[in-house]
Each structure stands twice: as structure tokens, then as C-alpha cells.
Structure 1
Amino acid sequence: MTLGWIISLVTIFLITYGYDQTAIDEAYPDSKTEFMAYYGLFRNCWAIALGFIVFASAKGYGGPIGSFLACSAFEPLAKMTYGAYLVHGITMYYFFVNISYRIAISHALVAFIAISNVWISMALGLLVIIVFEAPVAQMEKLVFGHLGLSKLPTVIKYKTE
């Protein structure tokens, strides 16, 4: 497990700080091998490294990272971001379809549009949670309570070393 943590953290560090396209272009102006290898693999390596961290934390080998990820303060935020994920496509579609004039694109405008879409999507995500998810969760508690299934199975906690 320790070897997995080391490989995972080194992979994340190298993906974040290890590649410098400018230095490679200056040292090897004709070589694109490093460029293709990095851009071909970094997303998969990042996903595997983060997946290991989540898996290790879920199995009880997360240490301080696992306790941070298991903090109960993240539960409402997780629900809200999932709701935002569900509605952000509709939000962006509505915004971009209703533009009836030409826009001069600038960095400030793109930043404003992105930040606006995030805020609107988060607000709509919160609305989705309040209107749909919370009532359904309460109905599940009532229905499963009447069926005698009110207690969920216990989660097995593994020892952390």
C-alpha cells in the first residue's frame, strides 16, 4: 500500500510540475516524442493516481488524506456539485443559443461567461437538490422504514496503520 501511495503522489507531482514544453523545444527543436507521450498519457495517469487515492481512502488506508476526504462538511457540497453537473449543459445551451448579436471575444468576457455559468449552475444545482433529491430521500426513509429496511448495512472499517 505504501508503494502505491508513493507512485500515486510522484505521478501527480510529475504531471503537475514535471513537464516544460519550452525547455524541451529549446533542447530538442525537432523532437516531438516527449510532447506526444505527455499529452497522450497524462490524463490517464492522473485518473489512475487519483483513483488509487480514493480507493485507498475508502478501504481505510488514507491516513490524513482519507480523514480529510471523509469530512462530513463535504456531503452538502458533493450533492450540490452533482446537481450542478446535471444542469450545467442546459445552462450553457440556454446561454449560447439565446445570443442574437455578435460578440467581440476577449479574455475578460470569457472569464465573465465562465464564472457566470459556474454560479448559475451551482444555484440551479442547489435548487435541484432542494426540490428533487431531498424529498426523494425522505420518501425512501419512510418507505423503507415501513418495510423494516430502515437500517442500511454497516460499512466495514479497516485498520489504518
Structure 2
Amino acid sequence: MRRLLLGGTAAVALLSSSAFAGGVPEPVMTPDVIETKTSSSSGGVIVPLLLLLVVVAAVASSGGGDGGTVSASDARIKTDIAWLRMGKHGLPIYRYRYKGMPEVFEGVMAQDVANIRPDALVRWPNGLLAVDYGRLGMAMQRVA
């Protein structure tokens, strides 16, 4: 009887232990799904407006060539930029295109003008930089 009692007690102890029963179940955590939206409400309007601004500035500056024109000259709106030579006031002259436009121009970068002749720099309300070529005594030229 004693054996039966000990055997029964051992069996009950084994069956009720967490090791035999599989232990405490791991908590199941569901991942939080976070949705991010990357669209901007003004994204579809800004780019065409900037391009329109660039076209107007380029047309105005390429007409007279007298150097009295304020032209969009921010490096952020230019592409295919190639250094050509040093010009007046120690400003580098570049050949470039405006993003989204096929015409090729020669002129300065507003960022260079900011360092050498800040008096000829114009900051437009949209944050872009422009150059008053009249103050520099030179003109941006359309070459192709």
C-alpha cells in the first residue's frame, strides 16, 4: 500500500508540474500595424508652380541680355551642371539646364553668389534663391 501511495503521489506530482504540462504558455503578442502616409497635400501643385516660375525667369532673362534681370539661380532647380570658367567677381560660370526643361543656359549659381556677392542675392518667398544679374554686371545666357 505504501508503494501505491508513493507511486500515486509521484504520478500526481508529475502530472501537475509545469514541466510535464508544457510550462506556462508564452504570451502571444500581435504586432502593431502602423500606417504611414507619405503623400503631401501640396505635392502635386508645388512642382508645376516651380517650373512655371523658372520658365518665366528664364524667358525674361534671355530676352534683353542687359543684365538687369533677377533670375532663378538656385542649384536645387538645376541639372546637368558643368563648370565652364571663372567670371566676374571670382564667380564660377556654369552650363546647366533647369529640371524638366530642355534649354541649356550659362550663368552663376545662387549659392556661389551668396558667398561672394550677397548683395546680388534674392530670396524668394518659396525659399528658392535668385540672382540679380544687374548687380553683377553680367547676364545669364541661353546657349541651346
TM-score, with structure 2 as normaliser? 0.22
Higher normalized helix content (fraction of residues): 1
Relative contact order higher in (CA < 8 Å, ≥ 6 apart): 1
Higher normalized strand content (fraction of residues): 2
**Larger radius of gyration between Structure 1 and Structure 2:** 2
